[in-house]
């Protein structure tokens, strides 16, 4: 790996304020001429997660006791780390971070087996997400995207796709003009090379604000869509009471393979306008559901890279998600 800057800081994002350069991973390291494509390239977000677990309901206008941790996160970065944890031979990540935590995030990704190409933003800090986790392990997010949505076409490098078998785009990219343009560039580059592309819609709230049809137009030509139930219904133009199976089937008329995650109910696989498999969730004692969908995505994509059929890949995704909810934060 080639990178600029001083030694990696330790102890948290505040320990690396002097980092000012772009951290890069040479995309072709380890590639052999004539070797079959094997890499997964993820383009998405790296953020700092502040996870607050509060066993009791929030008490307005006073204190609520909580267990609070600051952890590396971000939907794109989480998915990349879970793909590496799930056996993907090579995982690369393109993201944008702030100078104050660039090295901390870089080292966390390297430790997870991911090759990061982090563009350091000179103006905005790394995105921050406050995750409020209640007694039921469900989470509510407060999101400041910061530098993550300032990715732009100039950050793209064609060599990121050298030796790649799959490209995964975090849905968060599509919710800001600059990062959406970058996602379009990456998608076209992958399609031009015959590389399969997957997208997870990321956020029902942001999706509704952008507009479902606008999102679907932006991702036209992808091979795999990975929404949760709420996102699937929204994208399919169905009411809240509609079943996830109907939404999955409808979306698979527009995208060849649709996998709808359903939390404790597992996942649905749809192809060609019909549901082709229902995959049960793995039993787990949930502590924090933050990043469960990202874990599913990473496990699923790693299995596809290994040659698994969609239903078996969804099973691998469910196993990763079950492991993810047993720990704080969104990373392995």
pLDDT tens digits for 276-292?
Answer: 999 999 988 888 787 89
Q: Domain span at residue 74? A: 22-324
Question: What CATH number corresponds to the domain at position 300?
Answer: 3.40.1190.20
Instruction: Please tell me the total count of domains within the chain.
Output: 1
Residue 65 maps to a domain? yes
Please give the Cα distance from 282 to 279 (Å, whole number): 9
Q: For residue 190, is it within any domain? A: yes
Residue 14 lies in a domain: no
Is 2's pLDDT higher than 50?
no
The pLDDT assigned to 136 comes to 81
Specify if 208 maps to a domain. yes
For 324, the enclosing helix (H) or strand (E) is helix 310-324
Q: In what order do the strands lie in the sheet with 47-53?
A: 67-73, 47-53, 127-133, 139-144
pLDDT at 39 over 60: yes
Q: Is residue 1 part of a domain?
A: no
Residue 9 counted as domain residue: no
In a domain, 329, yes or no: no
Confidence band for 50, pLDDT divided at 50, 70 and 90: very high
- HSE-up (13 A, CA, CB side) for residue 71: 20
């Amino acid at each position: 790996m080639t990178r600029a800057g001083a030694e990696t800081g330790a102890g948290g994002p505040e320990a690396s304020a002097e980092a000012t350069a772009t951290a890069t991973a040479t995309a072709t390291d380890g590639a052999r001429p004539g070797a079959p494509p094997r890499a997964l390239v993820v383009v998405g977000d790296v953020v700092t997660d502040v996870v607050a677990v509060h066993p009791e309901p929030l008490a307005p206008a006073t204190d609520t006791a909580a267990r609070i941790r600051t952890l590396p996160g971000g939907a794109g970065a989480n998915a990349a780390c879970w793909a590496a944890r799930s056996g993907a031979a090579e995982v690369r990540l393109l993201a944008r971070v702030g100078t104050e935590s660039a090295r901390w995030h870089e080292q966390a990704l390297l430790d997870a087996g991911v090759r990061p190409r982090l563009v350091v933003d000179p103006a905005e800090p790394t995105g921050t997400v406050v995750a409020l986790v209640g007694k039921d392990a469900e989470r509510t997010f407060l999101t400041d995207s910061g530098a993550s949505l300032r990715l732009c076409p100039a950050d793209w490098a064609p060599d990121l796709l050298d030796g790649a078998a799959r490209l995964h785009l975090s849905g968060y990219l599509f919710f800001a003009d600059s990062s959406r343009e970058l996602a379009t560039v990456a998608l076209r580059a992958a399609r031009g090379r015959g590389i399969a592309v997957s997208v997870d819609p990321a956020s029902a709230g942001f999706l509704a604000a952008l507009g479902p049809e606008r999102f679907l137009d932006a991702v036209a030509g992808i091979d795999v869509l990975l929404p949760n139930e709420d996102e699937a219904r929204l994208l399919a133009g169905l009411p809240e009471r509609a079943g996830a199976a109907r939404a999955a089937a409808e979306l698979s008329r527009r995208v060849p393979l649709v996998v709808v995650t359903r939390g404790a109910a597992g996942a649905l696989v749809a192809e060609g306008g019909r549901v082709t498999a229902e995959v049960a969730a793995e039993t787990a004692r949930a502590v924090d559901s933050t990043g469960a969908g990202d874990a599913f995505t990473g496990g699923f994509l790693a299995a596809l890279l290994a040659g698994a059929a969609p239903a078996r890949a969804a099973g691998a995704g469910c196993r990763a998600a079950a492991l993810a909810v047993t720990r704080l934060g969104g990373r392995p």
